[in-house]
Amino acid sequence: MADVLEIIRCSNFAAIKHKDQRRKDEEKTPYINHPIGVANILTEEAGIADVAVIQAALLHDTVEDTDTTFEEIQALFGEEVTGIVKEVTDEKNLPKLVRKQKQIEHAPHASYKAKLVKLADKLYNLRDLNRCTPVGWSQERVTEYFQWAHKVVEGLKGTNQPMEDSLQQLFKERNIV
């Protein structure tokens, strides 16, 4: 029961933090759908029941995209969850291309739990790109995102076969190998 309470408390926190944000699709989908979807991929498809991993999935974009601090996450959800979130958080003060390159370089060295969150995040985002193109994105930009994501995922291999198989299928459909 305590695990359920922690996940719901974490979901509520993420929902409050992302309440005014929308995805970049034409429907302007509520942003909170993304972290919940990442957590759902982990539980439903990847077979992950580790509470810290699920909490980190729910929180993985809060520091990047809201006023949340690592100190706040630490105080509310503990050291382990904070550590995973830190590993998957981009440094927003860096230029976009530098951040993307750092993700590629960091992927093979991430902890197992951070790799799980990263794989689920990439899987969610690529499926979302297949579902609809974000407003203002060209097909070339979508292809570039898939190519970059493939490089990140290459560094995460050996982490979770079901997610890796799903990602490989998406790459295959786009002729990215």
Catalytic (active-site) positions: 64-65
Answer whether 66's CB lies under 8 Å from 56's CB.
no
Angle (CA) 68 69 71, round 5°: 135
User: Alpha-carbon distance 155 to 114, whole Å?
Assistant: 12
Closest to 59 in 3D by CA, of 126, 114, 110 = 114
Residues in the chain: 177
Query: What distance in Å separates the CA atoms of residue 26 and residue 49, rounded to the nearest whole number?
Result: 33
